[in-house]
Chain A
C-alpha cells in the first residue's frame, strides 16, 4: 500500500477533492457471529454501489479524539429493493450503524441496518 505524507495546503485540498478509496471486503473480514455491533457518528462520505456500498463515519471518542470508521454495506441493488431512501442518508447526517464488527480489530464494520437521527431505521 502506498502511503503519502502531505502537509498544509496540499493536505487540505486533498481532503476536499480526493476520490474515496474503500476496498470491498470478503465476509472473512468481519465477525459474523456478532450482529448487534453499533457505532454512532457523522457521515463524511457515502456511496451506494456494487458489489458493496461504502460509508466513512466520523466517530467521537471518549477522550475527545475522533476515529474515522470504514463502513461497508449491501449492494445498491439490494438496498433499493429493501426500501432504503438514499436521499435521507447523506454526508453530514448523524446516524447509528448496526451490524458485524471487524474480525481483525480495525475500525471497520459491515452494516446491516442504519438508524437516522429522527429514529427512522432501514434494514434487511
Chain B
C-alpha cells in the first residue's frame, strides 16, 4: 500500500467531510423551504405600480433621455430586437408575464428570472459592497433579513438609457421583499435613487402572485432569430421582414 492510499483514518476523514457537506446542503435546502419568499412567482400587473411615465427628471436626466429618443428609431432601433436585457432596476419591476424563481440559502438569495434568463445573486454574507465595483447590468446586490422581509441593496449598475427605468451608473436601488396575503403573494417595494437622472427617489410597488403548483421555469434562448438572420445573409437570401 502506497503512502497515498486511503487507510482507515483517511476513510474516516472522508466520511466525516462527506457528512458535513451533506448536512450543509440539507440545512440550506431546509432554509429555502422555510422562507416564505422562496418559490416561483408571476408578476401581477393588476396590483403593481408602473414606473412613472413622467418621473422627476433632473435637467441632465431629461437631456439624456431626449438625446436617446432623438437618435434611435423606435422600430428599427428597438433594443429588444437585439435581445438586449435592460438589467436593474427595470428587472425588479414587472418582467412581463414571465415567472421569477426565488431560491434562498443561508448565504445567498438567488433570483432567477425566466425573461432573458437573467440571474440576480443577493449576497447575505456581505455587509458592504466592494469598494471598487465594475458596473454591470444587474449590479452588485447585498441583502439582510429584517424579520420576514428581505432587504436588498444594489449598486454598481451599468448606465442604460433604454428600458422602463433610464438610469446612470450612480443609480442605487433598495428593495424590501416580503410575502403577503398568507404567502399567496409577494410585494417588492423598490426605491430607486439616481442623482444624475432623478431629482428625488422614485418608489414603485411591484406585486407577484404565487405561480400554480405545476409551474416550472423554462429556458429562454433569445438569439435564435439573430442567428437565423445571419444564416439567411450567408445564403444570400433577402430578409423577409425588414
The proximity string for B residues 79-103 relative to A, scoring 1 for CB distances below 8 Å and 0 otherwise, is: 0110100000000000001100000
Whether A77 lies near B75 (C-beta < 8 A) is no
Q: Which of B1-9, B19-27, B185-193, B219-227 lies on the face that meets chain A?
A: B219-227
Specify which of A17, A23, A51, A80 is in contact with B242 (CB 8 Å cutoff): A23
Does A28 lie at the interface of the complex (its beta carbon under 8 Å from any beta carbon of B)?
yes
State the CA gap A14–B233 with chains docked (Å). 12
Whether A80 lies near B235 (C-beta < 8 A) is no
Whether A80 lies near B228 (C-beta < 8 A) is no
Does B148 lie at the interface of the complex (its beta carbon under 8 Å from any beta carbon of A)?
no
Number of interface residues of B (CB under 8 A): 28
Q: What residue in chain A is nearest B215 (Cβ atoms)? A: A81
Whether A78 lies near B97 (C-beta < 8 A) is yes
Q: Which residues of A contact B74 (CB under 8 A)?
A: 26, 28
Does A4 lie at the interface of the complex (its beta carbon under 8 Å from any beta carbon of B)?
yes
State the CA gap A6–B83 with chains docked (Å). 32
Q: What residue in chain B is nearest A72 (Cβ atoms)? A: B241
The proximity string for A residues 30-62 relative to B, scoring 1 for CB distances below 8 Å and 0 otherwise, is: 000000000000000001011110101000000
Whether A50 lies near B224 (C-beta < 8 A) is yes
Q: Which residues of A contact B80 (CB under 8 A)?
A: 24, 26, 51
A4, A22, A77 — which one has the most chain B CB atoms within 10 A of its CB?
A: A77
Q: Are A23 and B235 CB-contacts (below 8 A) given A50-B221, A50-B222, A80-B218? A: no
Does A105 lie at the interface of the complex (its beta carbon under 8 Å from any beta carbon of B)?
no
Does B229 lie at the interface of the complex (its beta carbon under 8 Å from any beta carbon of A)?
yes
Quick one: which of A1-36 are within 8 Å of B by CB?
1-4, 6, 14, 17-26, 28-29
Q: Are A24 and B225 CB-contacts (below 8 A) given A29-B75, A77-B220? A: yes
State the CA gap A100–B169 with chains docked (Å). 37
State the CA gap A22–B226 with chains docked (Å). 9
Specify which of B81, B83, B239 is in contact with A21 (CB 8 Å cutoff): B239
Q: Which residues of A contact B97 (CB under 8 A)?
A: 78, 81
Taking Cβ atoms with an 8 Å cutoff, the residues of A that contact B are 1-4, 6, 14, 17-26, 28-29, 47, 49-52, 54, 56, 68, 70, 72, 75, 77-78, 80-81, 104, 108
Excluding A1-B239, A26-B75, 7 further A-B contacts by CB distance (< 8 Å) are A20-B228, A24-B225, A50-B224, A51-B80, A51-B225, A70-B241, A77-B98
